[in-house]
Amino acid sequence: MGIRWRLALGLVLLLCWAGKALGAEGAPDCALSEPEQGTVVQIVDGETITLADGSTVRLVGAKAPRPPSGTAEVDWSFSQETRDALEALTKGKTVSLRFGGSRTDRHGYLMAQVFVEGGPSPLWVQGELVSEGLARVYSLSDNAACTDALLEREEEARTARRGLWASGFYRVRDAVAVDRMRRLTGTYQIVEGGVLEVADVQDWIFLNFDEDWRKDFTVVIDKSDAKAFAEAGLDLPSLEGKPIRVRGWMEWRYGPSITATHPEQIEVLEEDGTAKSPPSP
């Protein structure tokens, strides 16, 4: 057995032990639907499973690692380790699906929080993967339940440099390191830095991180989405001068940018880089 597979086996055993030890603390404190059960028969990838009834389920909120462009999934150890861990946690087991937003995506896949049944209490699969550094947190404007609970787990895993957080490929990007971001276009990224200016221009709000808006990293917000930020207690103009962390898909508009459609994409940080408690609406 090679070194890579010994490490993967050790990771699987660790996750299985963690699942048994987690107990009642495994359940997130967030609003979800009543559980709907099924049996996992196939692991499609590190964030997708198939049930016995033919349903395909995406583990909403936990984005599995993806290899660089041109690299096969099976050759990228991070994505393979996440897939192996998901298989060890769920394959052949009864799971409960609970929904906190839209039930399906554009492909017809179910978008659920997934819990493994059979132990003292249900084991939250997304929480396990994020805690072990095997997935990053993401959210959707119509499906953001449990994001705060996942972000707490992600921050702990990142601080401990678990899993993918030990790799520079998945590091949190510095908002002022613009030259390094062009090659990241089209990839999911987390960027951190101090907001220099909040600009209100026609139908858009721009969070700029440097003096030259034509070249700097920018967070772009459609004004039609601004109400959702305000309702969540996140006053966009007040972000000027504050450090934030934003996550989303990297684009290139003059300079690098991420479009934020909902408040869960932005974390307001303390001076030491840790996230502040979520604002009260």
Report the range out of 209-218, 237-246, 248-257 with the highest average pLDDT.
237-246
Query: What pLDDT does 263 receive?
Result: 97
Range with the poorest average pLDDT among 39-53, 62-76, 181-195: 62-76
Last residue of a domain, one of 151, 166, 181: 166
Query: What pLDDT does 7 receive?
Result: 43
CB 50 within 8 A of CB 44: yes
137 and 254 share one domain: no
CB 244 within 8 A of CB 186: no
86 and 123 share one domain: yes
Query: What pLDDT does 72 receive?
Result: 66
| Domain boundaries, position 204 | 172-268
149 and 260 share one domain: no
- Written as one string, the DSSP assignment of 208-235 is ESSS-TTTS-EEEEEGGGHHHHHHTT--
Range with the poorest average pLDDT among 22-26, 70-74, 257-261: 22-26
26 and 89 share one domain: yes
Token reading at 187? 């990839």
Q: What is the pTM of this model?
A: 0.86
Q: Which 3 state secondary structure label does DSSP give 200?
A: strand
Average pLDDT of the residues in 184-198: 96
- Predicted confidence band of residue 189 (pLDDT cuts 50, 70, 90): very high
- Predicted confidence band of residue 28 (pLDDT cuts 50, 70, 90): confident
CATH of the domain at 87: 2.40.50.90
Last residue of a domain, one of 107, 136, 166: 166
Residue 280 lies in a domain: no
CA 22 to chain centre: 21
Q: Look at the chain and report how many structural domains it folds into.
A: 2
Tens of pLDDT, residue by residue over 250-276, are 999 889 999 999 999 999 998 766 776
Q: How far apart are the C-alpha atoms of 105 and 110, rounded to whole Å?
A: 7
Q: Is the pLDDT of residue 10 over 60?
A: no
Tens of pLDDT, residue by residue over 115-145, are 999 888 899 999 999 999 999 999 999 999 9
Q: Does an H or E element contain 3, and which? A: helix 3-22
CATH of the domain at 205: 2.40.50.140
Query: What pLDDT does 14 receive?
Result: 45
Q: How far apart are the C-alpha atoms of 164 and 281, rounded to whole Å?
A: 33
Token reading at 84? 């192996």
Query: What pLDDT does 27 receive?
Result: 66
Higher local confidence (pLDDT), 73 or 212: 212
Last residue of a domain, one of 166, 193, 220: 166
Q: Is the pLDDT of residue 8 over 70?
A: no
31 and 50 share one domain: yes
Residue 236 lies in a domain: yes
Q: Is the pLDDT of residue 93 over 70?
A: yes
